[in-house]
Amino acid sequence: MDIRERTSAPGSTPETSEERYRSGAGPIVLLALGDALVFIIFAAIGMRSHKESLTLPSVLVTAAPFAIGWFLVSPFIGVFRCNITRQTGKMSLHTLFAWLAAWPIGLLLRGITKQEIPPVTFALITLVTNAIFLQLWRVPFAWFAGRNKR
């Protein structure tokens, strides 16, 4: 009898860390939290550069339209699928496509909340900066996830 058999609850099957990873819940939650943090960091940097008041509520309100756009679109493009979250190339490409699709939704939501059309320069900076930030977070995540798979 090995240790897993002795520590398992009666009637349950022991679960390895690989099986927990394959279930996807843990890594997906971590990935989503990191994604949310990317938008919060972007908002905080932007607000600071414009000398706006940096309070947690104001940063969250500023980040929300882009995070909402991201979380509405990105699952449909597959950025949370296990086979993508473990491969850096696929993660990078899917992340870029997802952000390109989510970006106009984020701009639209921001425009609605601010009751103004975002300036073109703001739109382009948002497009490029968030694409870079998402890549800087998600590609290393995929690299580590792929290494842990082995």
pLDDT tens track for 26-50: 889 999 999 999 999 999 999 999 8
**39: Cβ contacts below 8 Å, ≥ 6 apart:** 63, 64, 66, 67, 70, 130
pTM for this prediction: 0.80
Domain map (residue ranges) of the chain = 23-149
pLDDT tens track for 46-79: 999 988 888 999 999 999 999 999 999 999 999 9
